[in-house]
Amino acid sequence: MTYFIDLKDLAHDKVSFKGSFEPGVIDFTGDYLRQVKPVDWNAGAERAGAEIRIAGSFETAVEMACSRCLEPAKYEVSKTFDLFFRQRDQLMFDEDDEIELNEKDTRTAFFSGTRLAVSDILHEQVLLALPMKALCKLDCKGLCPVCGTNVNTKSCNCPQEQFNPNLETLVELKKRLENRSS
């Protein structure tokens, strides 16, 4: 079930609503993560001049592949948001035109139609709340660059340091810079 905010309901009053989206309702398949708990959310919507202001919060849990060892990394996500939306006006700008935005313009998103999908808003907010690089644990050792063994669970007999002769010039430059600074 997708929950929509009907903008006609915002003529005079602030509207409050809440809900829960079970895993699979919000499509995260292209985002390389898996929702493992429902997204529990609440929000309020109101008119703010020509804009629609939607403020609320959510919490959920997701799994992503660890950036070092590729094992699942679970993240509890909880965030508040305060967003502004404006009806897209065809006369406002042509998509091919270059326009200069001020800071107020960057906090406003544009929409067309008479409804806003809460699932789309929450999809974006969940992604913004996640770390850029997922780690299963802070001291994750990752994969062996030679054989691909997960070094967190097994050790391998691969040589620990493989020196690339093409980097010899950079190593020499690094040594010179270190000698200068000491």
Mean pLDDT (the chain) is 83
Domain map of the chain by residue range? 4-129, 141-182
Q: Give the residue among 40, 91, 83 at the shortest CA–CA distance from 61.
A: 40
pTM above 0.85, yes or no: no
Q: If you search the block for the tokens 């895993």, which residue do you land on?
A: 23
The answer to whether 35 touches 70, Cβ cutoff 8 Å, is no
- Count of all residues that appear for the chain in the document: 182
Q: How far apart are CA 45 and CA 95, in angstroms?
A: 28
Residues in the chain, pLDDT under 50: none
Encode pLDDT of 12-61 as tens digits.
Answer: 678 888 999 999 998 888 888 999 999 999 998 888 777 888 899 999 99
Q: What is the pLDDT of residue 15?
A: 82
Q: Give the residue among 113, 41, 29 at the shortest CA–CA distance from 83.
A: 41
